[in-house]
Amino acid sequence: MKKSGGKEQAGGDSAHLTSSHKKDAPGKPGRLCLAEIAYMSLSLLPPAVWQSLRFDWLWVYRGCPPVVETWSAQEITVPAGWFYVEEGLVKIQADGREMVVKPGQSFFTAPGTRRQWFAKGTKLTSVGFRCEWPGGAPVFKTGLNAVLSPTKSAALLAATQTLFREVHGRKSVVTYREGTAAVPRGVADWCRHEAAFREWFSVYVQTLEKMGVTPENSSAEDRRLDSMLKALSEWPLDEPLKLGQLTAGMKLSERRVHDLLRSRLGMTAQVWMERRRLEVARQRLAGEDTALKEIAFALGFKHPPHFTAWFKRHTGMTPTGFRDAGGVSGA
């Protein structure tokens, strides 16, 4: 709500957008369509747009990574997030470069793929989440995978410490596996934790603004790609991928679908699906006690030994070894 002459002006950001539009382009209707919004500053949008975002709070933890002194065997898929290095050293390879995060520094994770390495004795405070447009594209990505100095991330560190206390109470250490576990809770606790994450996210966004990071644009072509990505992300992992079925009603050739997806993902849809399958395997092995053969069947493997060989080829560890180590995907 905005104040004008001592009184609150109804409409908030929505009213501001309508007023600006009338002033800059007289003669046009005051109501903005999404196509017009796409060309405006994405820092000011009607409430309905922000309310349509998908938020998934994945973890907040404070502790040591389960695997140290070893690079991840290949690029792993990670969600958006932020971590602060209390002790030790972290190396991240992403976007064609290697970044070193020292004690006192923090790192803003872009959703996507990367390799990671942790020095022995490393201790992190970390938050992971997903924040996506309705079609599945990340709201923030460009400008992330960035290291920030202690002074510039002080407010976010304080907000993270508050979030940690709100979610985990008096605990001083919570491992990645504990932080990502699905813990049953009542509606009152769920509301309290949701409010705490939203408050943290507000400070996170304010920090991004100071870094010059703004929401990703969402053009008409982006929305078409988002629709295909949503279908791709929902494709059953135990079935072969059929690109033609991702674009029902779009009148696109399979080759065009292949090219569009590759332009967005930076890899083929088949490779992306393989990484999605691997990420689901990691998550289930780290967070469940489900029998290996059941996980293998759910991921499309008819024979458990084939699943074991596939997993070891991609990670350098057997499924059992990975499970015993507590998982290695978090930071």
pLDDT in tens, 266-277: 778 888 888 889
The Cα-based distances of 258 to 24, 240, 244 in angstroms read: 40, 15, 9
> In Å, how far are 29, 66, 125, 135, 231 from 82, measured between CA atoms?
41, 18, 8, 23, 28
Residue with tokens 């490393």: 122
State residue 18's pLDDT score.
32
Longest dimension (CA), the chain: 73
> Residue 2 — very low, low, confident or very high, per pLDDT cuts 50/70/90?
very low
Of 228 and 23, the one with more pLDDT:
228
What whole-number distance in Å separates Cα of residue 293 and Cα of residue 309? Answer: 13
- Residues whose CB falls within 8 Å of the CB of residue 324, separated by 6 or more in sequence, listed in order: none
How many whole angstroms separate alpha carbon 191 and alpha carbon 180? 18
Could you tell me if residue 11 is left (phi over 0), alpha (psi between -120 and 50 degrees) or otherwise beta?
A: left
The residue-averaged pLDDT of 26-40 equals 38
CB contact set of 57 (below 8 Å; sequence gap of 6+): 129, 193, 194, 197
Which residue from 285, 91, 58 is spatially nearest to 176, judged by alpha carbons?
58
| Cα distances (angstroms) measured from residue 293 to each of 39, 280, 320 | 50, 14, 11
Q: Which of 113, 163, 133, 124 is nearest to 275 (CA)?
A: 113
Of the given ranges (13-27, 110-124, 130-144, 219-233), which has the lowest mean pLDDT? 13-27
Predicted pLDDT at 28:
40
DSSP per-residue codes, 257-285: HHHHHHHHHSS-HHHHHHHHHHHHHHHHH
Can you tell me which residue has the tokens 């996170």?
204
The DSSP call for residue 32 is: P
Lowest average pLDDT, out of 91-100, 190-199, 251-260, goes to 251-260
pLDDT of residue 201: 97
Task: Confirm if 271 and 262 have CB atoms less than 8 A apart.
Answer: no
pLDDT at 35 over 60: no
The answer on pLDDT for 288 being more than 80 is: yes
Domains belonging to the chain, first-starting first, are 2-51 (no CATH), 54-211 (2.60.120), 220-325 (1.10.10.60)
Q: Does the pLDDT of residue 311 top 90, yes or no?
A: yes
Residues 6+ apart with CB under 8 A from 319: 281, 285, 292, 295, 307, 308, 311, 312
